[in-house]
A = this chain, B = another copy of it.
């Protein structure tokens, strides 16, 4: 199995975490954003949506990070607490992962995009105060939603143990820092966040992402 990623993408980090946690054998191909490798005919054959992450597995290819989790789990017989075979637990994880797109990734990502990426990389004017208030309030809703979602079991998919859903959520929630939204010191969200941040695998992925950031001037594409 080959996994196509760029280390700047949150869903890519989540997929890499899942594959390593589940001890799946795979090769990584770094897709160079700067050189627009994701638009190449070769990559378009693997993922016509021209986005990472994607996998190829023999003749088969698949996109969408959460769909990749399920495919890998079923194909390689994954049954760990990150993505248990139990249908009721897996149902809860899948429900979170479907909600995640709009509920967490979009609501934080939209603020990040408009506040930081559009002005920095696309020369857009900064938002007006009124525009910023609107997108900021949407991102703040994620923080209050996390408080009640975590109230049931301490994990986002309302499962008794930490799962891959928490990793997906963490990858996005960690961007709140960049838009100056702190998690309150005694909140459930802060406790949850710190637990995930302290996992050795998460720290390892963060080191790799930092290396990738700092090497971006010199293209990697092994």
Q: Are B94 and A66 in contact (CB under 8 A)?
A: yes
Interchain CB contact (< 8 A) of A101 among B62, B71, B90, B101: B101
A128: min CB distance to chain B, Å: 15
Q: A49-B99, A102-B106, A148-B48 are in contact. Are A87 and B75 (CB under 8 A)?
A: yes
A39: min CB distance to chain B, Å: 14
Q: How many copies of this chain does one complex carry?
A: 2
Residues of B within 8 A of A101 (CB): 98, 101-102
Q: A87-B71, A87-B74, A87-B75 are in contact. Are A64 and B94 (CB under 8 A)?
A: yes
Size of the A side of the interface (Cβ < 8 Å), in residues, is 31
Among A155-173, those with CB < 8 Å from B are none
Residues of B within 8 A of A91 (CB): 60, 62, 67-68, 70-71
Main secondary structure of the interface of A (DSSP, over half): helix
- Answer whether residue A95 sits at the interface, using C-beta atoms and an 8 A cutoff: yes
Residue of B nearest to A148 (CB): B48
Q: Give complex CA distance A204, B90 in Å.
A: 32
Residues of B within 8 A of A96 (CB): 64
Among A80-124, those with CB < 8 Å from B are 87-88, 90-92, 94-99, 101-102, 106
Q: A74-B87, A87-B75 are in contact. Are A67 and B49 (CB under 8 A)?
A: no
Convert A24-51 into 0s and 1s, putting 1 for each residue whose CB lies closer than 8 angstroms to a CB of B. Answer: 0000000000000000000000001100
